[in-house]
Structure 1
Amino acid sequence: MSLRTVRPFLAILAVAGLAACTATPGPAPSSGGPTASSSATESASATPAPDTETTVPAPSPSAPPGPTAGPGAGNAELAIMVKPSPTEPALNYTLVCRDGVPAPESKHPKADAACAALKSNAALLSPAPKNTNRVCTEQYGGPETATVTGIVDDTPVDTSFARTNGCEIGAWTAAEDVLGATGGAS
């Protein structure tokens, strides 16, 4: 089932749920008048409100614009720390890329793949802010954590990764070449 098919259905369910839970001021129903269940049914069959999920808030004027997903210049200077577990020592890498190619000062196990990944997706290390309303699968991908700081295409980067739920595992997998570690069973 596609997202296009699901959204109208979800909007109708939301309207029906809100109508059933919302008290409407007015006269008390008479024996022959509409009941709460019939008004909920009427609301559910009405045209749903416009889709507000796709509304993107305007960036604040004080925040610098971050890179957008898609190709970038491929320039980066990053310090990467991967901690396999709380008891193991951290692995530290330096990644320097110029036009998507590793510079000689890079000390990274997958420098070619990491620079290529950053060039093909400049926003790879600038994920959207974590949404507390986002639903993530409750699965554990391992104890690994990682921190990446530096600059990608003139944009500051200071982000962390973990593998404690499905959303974080997905972000880790997307940045795996840059992190330089496979992490868990992936």
Structure 2
Amino acid sequence: MRDLELTIRVTEDPDSPEYEFRLIVRDGRPADGCTVPDPAAALSAMERFGEDIFFPKPGPPKLCTQQYGGPQVAVVTGSINGRPVSVTFRRTDGCEISRWRAMAPLFGGTTGSRGEI
């Protein structure tokens, strides 16, 4: 990921305060203005899982376990390499829990952000 600017808003449950973090990357490196507690880990997760986690491609239906991982919600907006991003992460079933765990470093270490069930 060469250039990105993301705002991440995380809520632990509907009645809790919202946490806001920013991840800013210029020329592949975290830049001034990052407020994610571990920008290197967040960038590493993004490089590992690629843009597809933010821009899913249509494909065959997935079978997801019907387990509830918690009320946490993370809304990520901004841009990756000039491409607009607006995606929501939840923990509502096995597939969503997996996505959450993959991107946990981006969610700033708030309660539930590491994906524990």
Q: TM-score, normalised by structure 1?
A: 0.54
Partner of 2:11: 83
Among 89, 92, 115, the residue aligned to 2:20: 92
**Post-superposition offset of 1:163:** 0.3
Larger RCO of the pair (alpha carbons < 8 Å, separation 6+):
2
The answer on 1:146 being equivalent to 2:74 is yes
**Post-superposition offset of 1:155:** 1.5
Structure 1 residues 113 and 183: alpha-carbon distance in aligned structure 2, compared to 1, 3 A threshold: closer
| Runs of 4+ residues deviating >4 angstroms | none
The answer on 1:160 being equivalent to 2:94 is no
The answer on 1:128 being equivalent to 2:76 is no
Structure 1 residues 178 and 79: alpha-carbon distance in aligned structure 2, compared to 1, 3 A threshold: same
Among 22, 29, 32, the residue aligned to 1:104: 32
Higher strand share: 2
Larger radius of gyration: 1
Question: Contact between 1:142 and 1:184, CA under 8 Å: does it hold in 2?
Answer: no
Q: Number of residues paired by the alignment?
A: 113
Q: Percent identity?
A: 37
Q: Give the Cα separation in 2 of the matches to 1:174 and 1:84.
A: 17
Q: Which runs of 5+ in 1 are unaligned?
A: 1-72
Does the residue aligned with 2:5 lie in a helix, a strand or coil? strand
Q: TM-score, normalised by structure 2?
A: 0.83
Listed one character per residue, the Cα deviations across residues 91-145 of structure 1 (whole Å, up to 9, x for unaligned) are 10111012332111111112111122223443132233597x4321011111100
Question: Contact between 1:149 and 1:158, CA under 8 Å: does it hold in 2?
Answer: yes
Higher helix share: 1
Partner of 1:115: 43
Question: Contact between 2:100 and 2:115, CA under 8 Å: does it hold in 1?
Answer: no
The answer on 1:185 being equivalent to 2:116 is yes
Residue type at the aligned position of 2:116: A
Question: Contact between 1:74 and 1:116, CA under 8 Å: does it hold in 2?
Answer: no
Shifted more, 86-95 versus 111-120: the winner is 111-120
Residue type at the aligned position of 1:135: L
